[in-house]
Structure 1
Amino acid sequence: MRKSNAKIVVKVGTNVLTRSDGSLDVTNISHLVDQLAMLKKEGHQVVLVSSGAVGAGRELLPAADEMDPVVRRQMLSSIGQIRLMELYRQLFAGHQLLCGQVLATKEDFRDRRHYLNMRNCLEALLHDRVIPVVNENDVVSVTELMFTDNDELASLVTAMLNADTLVILSTVDGLLTAAPDDPTATLIPTLSATDESVWSYIAPVKSSFGRGGMATKVRMAQHTARLGAEVILANGKRRDSLVEVLSGKGLCTRIPAQAQPSNLKKWLAQHPTTNGSVQVNEGAKMVLTDGASVSSLLPVGIISVDGDFKKGDLLSIIGPDKESIGIGVAQYSAEKARNLMGQKGQKALVHYDYLMIY
């Protein structure tokens, strides 16, 4: 382990927790808990983002597969969550540890007060003999409240807690240069958070029982690394893979962390909903995206204002070709922004401290 008392988020995919027939793989789950307990007893702060509730429900009530897909998912999750948490409770108890359940929806990350309340709860749990187990609240998460999958949830939790490392465990060793069943495929050991060439290696294929796939994992991994945490993609079916990759050994793909932004900027970067948008000219885009300088969004660089936002609302910032370049908090209303648009010497619409450039 590179750092003592590190804060580590471990995301475990459905296929790591289940067998080929969809039933829970209790043996592998037990071994995962052993590794998490080892990390905890070494003094690290550990959060588990666990899939598997729907799979656990399907094992108990297979006939539910004939129901409406949305209702089925809610029902299976409601039943399976109890089964999964009871299994975690028993296994962690064998290490004299407790586990605490934290269920989340996207709405908890959109609302700043909900966000801070959840962060405070997780921080409190981390300072005791508790492993927080975070999962999407599938019972109430439908359509716009749903995460892409638990990779997105793990990324949000990692940023929220200022975690040092996010480990995403799936059933492959990391990012490969071809499909896992291709004999020419080789492991990519290190990936930059800004490397766009990686997309030529990734096929948009979802896992058999989960909602995500490697494309989602890499997208979220690079995003998380840009927000200041190291990300490791590894194989959760390999024995001792978690402790090995965290000690710098084992097969995996590592995405090194970039400079860490402020907590507020992290929240902005993870916020999907805005109340309006402003389009900037090429000069303003160059200034705002120049990582070597500190710049606020001034009216002189704005060429259009969309929406009826107020002071304190969130704004999308788009470039001259309508590409998204950032998000920020408005310092005054849309009406005032329209009146000041293109003028020099005016107050910033978005101050640098409340501005996140992607």
Structure 2
Amino acid sequence: MIVIKVGTNVLSDDLGMIDQTMIASLVLQVVNLKRRGVDVILISSGAVGAGRQVLNSTSKSLGRVERRQLLAAVGQPKLLQTYMTLFEKSGIHVAQILATKEDFRDRKHYLHMRNCFLALLNENVIPIVNENDTIAVDELMFTDNDELASLVASMMGASALYILTNVEGVYLGDPADPDAKVLSKIDPGSTIQHVFSQVSSFGRGGMATKYRMSKQLASTGIDVYIANGKRPGIIDSIYAGEHVGTHFVAQQNISSVKKWIAYQDRATTGAVVINEGAKSVLLNGNKVASLLPVGVSSIVAPFEKGDLINILGENEALVGIGKAQYASETLEKYLGQKQQKALIHYDYLVILYERNDDSKRS
């Protein structure tokens, strides 16, 4: 299974309007994958741009969020109709799925949504996914559709995520600089200085988000490719193994439960600080380890049994997330003690690579 995310700048022309020729080209490439027996989920931006084509002007009294909601409400059905018409020419049906961040936080809801995707794929239907901009306010919004694509790829256990943007890949330096180089491969455990973080012209995202999300997803066992969606035949090229764009190389695969936990850092209810010894053990990728009370220095925020909690280093940087086997009240009695039950068992512990890394530098 491959998840393909198409950015606003790929689908839009210079005026921010939807480029019909570009969509048609991308659809034909997705059809090629389907004919090879590949299941595809399409994460498509562009609803706001499609709405902009319908409503040339909007009331100046509208706020930023309200204007976005209006344009998305008008543009989403127009965008979906475009996809439906193009895919139907090849005998392929599509389905619309609109999501908010809340859909991924509750485990039960998360599994129901996964089952819906599986049902569609089993019937040879291509799910076309976008953020539900009409109801998403700031606190419920994804950072951008790169985050949504990462969550969907993780949820579905995809083999790869293709992120199509309007640049050739991840640049070491400013893409406008003729001497800037595209990084062909990135290990998710590496830290790279001076990755350029320009924000998208028409969308909300930028390379900093793509870089961060791609490292995170690759660390859970899914290959990620960032490439220029305007390059002819780009999807075919990536699938054929050609050296295009930037490839974030997948690490060892993890369980579906861990993949869900990995993206719950904003849904955690508690936090602990661990000492350097515990941090060293947890970050040792060659050893299976649970978090024991002897490695916990302090409790930052209280929690109950079964809660997801953040694991922080002594500098309060995020080290990982896990499911507590008992409450913070019990942990207080065990702090610093050996031979006590693990606070977080390995099966429910996810070690995260740095999210506040050098990718945010311009």
TM-score (norm 2): 0.94
Please say if 1:312 is aligned against 2:306.
yes
Q: Confirm or deny that 1:330 pairs with 2:324.
A: yes
Aligned to 1:156: 151
Alignment partner of 2:219 out of 218, 226, 229: 226
In structure 2, what residue type is equivalent to 1:294? Answer: V
Tell me, yes or no, if structure 1 residue 167 matches structure 2 residue 162: yes
Q: Which of the residues 337, 340, 347 maps onto 1:343?
A: 337
Does 298-307 or 324-333 show the bigger shift?
298-307
Name the counterpart of 2:91: 96
Structure 2 CA distance for partners of 1:211 and 1:65, relative to 1, 3 Å? farther
Provide the C-alpha distance between the structure 1 equivalents of 2:174 and 2:306, rounded to a whole number of angstroms. Answer: 46
1:145 matches 2:140: yes
- Aligned equivalent of 1:269: 262
1:129 corresponds to 2:128: no
Residue 185 of structure 1 is matched in structure 2 by 180
Partner secondary structure for residue 201 of structure 1? coil
1:33 paired residue number: 27
1:75 CA drift (Å) = 0.9
Residue 285 (structure 1) aligns with: 279
Letter in 2 for 1:238: R
Whole-angstrom CA distance in 2 between matches of 1:177 and 1:305: 39
Distance 1:201 1:350, change over 3 A: closer
Partner of residue 352 from structure 1, selected from 331, 346, 354: 346
Instruction: Report the Cα distance in structure 2 between the residues aligned to 1:60 and 1:143, rounded to whole angstroms.
Output: 25
2:45 to 41, 48, 51: 51
Deviation at 1:321, TM superposition (A): 2.1
- 2:205 aligned with 1:216, yes or no? no
Residue 179 of structure 1 deviates from its aligned partner by 2.4
Distance 1:293 1:308, change over 3 A: same
Alpha-carbon contact 1:277-1:305 (below 8 Å) kept: yes
Q: Which 10-residue stretch deviates more, 177-186 or 55-64?
A: 177-186
Partner of 2:18: 24
- Give the Å deviation of 1:250: 5.3
Structure 2 gaps of 5+ residues are 353-362
Give a deviation string over 1:129-149, Cα, whole Å, max 9, x none.
Answer: 211101111111111111110
Q: 1-side partners of 2:173 and 2:56: how far apart?
A: 34
**Aligned-partner Cα distance in 2 for 1:103–1:207:** 22
Per the alignment, in what secondary structure is the counterpart of residue 227 of structure 2? strand
1:126-169 deviation line (CA, Å, top 9, x unaligned) = 12221110111111111111111001111111111110111011
Counterparts of 1:193 and 1:297 in 2: how far apart (Å)?
23
Deviations along 1:258-282, whole A, 9 cap, x unmatched?
Answer: 1011111111111122111111111
Structure 1 position 79, deviation (Å): 0.7
Question: Runs (4+) of structure 1 moved beyond 4 Å?
Answer: none
Q: Please provide the CA RMSD for this pair.
A: 1.3
Q: Cα 1:270–1:248, aligned 2, differ >3 Å: closer, same or farther?
A: same
- Contact persistence 1:241–1:250 (CA under 8 A): no
- Distance of 1:130 and 1:18 partners within structure 2: 25
Q: Does 1:82 align with 2:77?
A: yes
| d(CA) in 1 for partners of 2:244, 2:347 | 39
Shift of 1:106: 0.8
Of residues 218, 242, 247 in structure 2, which corresponds to 1:254? 247
C-alpha distance in 2, partners of 1:241/1:35?
8
Matched, 1:195 2:190: yes
Per-residue CA deviation, residues 159-197 of structure 1 (Å, 9 max, x unaligned), is 111101110111111122332322222322222212212
Alpha-carbon distance between aligned partners in 1 of 2:319 and 2:31, rounded to the nearest angstrom = 41
Partner secondary structure for residue 76 of structure 1:
helix
CA distance in 1, matches of 2:179, 2:220: 33
Residues 3, 162 of structure 2: 8 Å contact kept: yes
Structure-2 separation of matches of 1:165 and 1:317: 28
Residue 61 (1) aligns with residue 55 (2)? yes
1:65-116 alpha-carbon deviations (Å, 9 max, x no partner): 6321110011111111010001111111011001111111111111111111
1:184 and 1:42 mapped to 2: Cα distance?
38
Deviations 1:16-66 (A, max 9, x none): 111101111000101100110110111001000000001111111121263
Which is further off, 346-355 or 81-90? 346-355
In structure 2, what is the equivalent of residue 4 of structure 1? none
TM-score norm. by structure 1 comes to: 0.95
Aligned 8 A contact 1:58 1:64 in 2: no
CA distance, structure 2, for counterparts of residue 322 and residue 237 of structure 1: 41
Q: 1:22 to 1:286 in 2, by over 3 A?
A: same
